[in-house]
Amino acid sequence: MRKAATLALLLLALPAAALARPPVLVELYTAQGCGACSEANVVLDKLSERPGVLALTFPVDYWDYLGWPDTFAKPEFAERQKAYVARLDLREPYTPQMVVDGRKEAAGLKSDLVDKLVREAAAAPRNPPDVRFIHARRVDVGSGRVPAGGAEVWLIRYDPRDQDVMVRSGENRGQSVTQKNVVREIRRLGPWRGKPAAYRYAPASEDGLKTVAVVQATHGGRVVAVAQAKS
């Protein structure tokens, strides 16, 4: 077993130039109680069907005071968005907001601008480390160049099924809100220092979730690599 693990890490030390290009990560920050968010949910739904794009929904809780507690929101999602606010020099968090590869952001309703940012991210030069899920409890990250300020590895789990929620109070009272690829868990696995490393993680708290590993510059920085487990 130890020899197999050592071999896996040695393979991860190979140059990343020949590796498959990682998908562009698009994050939608939204809330079921946000009156302007339904259209952005549709934009993300379309992005989720595009090859080479991983589009995820991060529901936030800071609009709960309007009368509807978001059924999927978690404080850690809002904290992740706040890191982008500081990094991208914004005044405050807002919804609907889309962040593309941790580099640029746009209002979720501006589908043309979001599409432009996605195309630019897809065409940008990349040299990501290899990221491989060895089994259901471990992900390995290979060697590569670390962004200034350092990098870290995140584990994200999301539900690929459409989620239809009937909002019974607040701005969207009486409306059914449909959300796609809703994030259910996010965990920081540890720092990445540019050398091959293995990260262990716990089983999912729910059935039917997909698992993604994201290597990213610290404090809401640019996304370096994205990989999704096969099961």
- Please state the pTM of the whole predicted model: 0.91
Q: How far is CA 25 from the centre of its chain?
A: 6
pLDDT, the chain, mean: 92
Assess if residue 6 is contained within a domain: no
pLDDT attached to residue 129: 97
Residue 8 pLDDT greater than 80, yes or no: no
pLDDT attached to residue 105: 98
Assess if residue 3 is contained within a domain: no
pLDDT digits (tens, 9 = 90+) for 22-78: 999 999 999 999 999 999 999 999 999 999 999 999 999 999 999 999 999 999 999
Among 114, 95, 109, which Cα is nearest to 39's? 109
Assess if residue 36 is contained within a domain: yes
- Domain of 70 in residue numbering reads as 23-228
* Number of independent structural domains in the chain: 1
CATH of the domain at 144: 3.40.30.10
Assess if residue 5 is contained within a domain: no
Assess if residue 146 is contained within a domain: yes
Query: Do 52 and 21 touch, CB atoms closer than 8 A?
Result: yes
pLDDT band at 3 (very low <50, low <70, confident <90, very high): very low
Assess if residue 142 is contained within a domain: yes
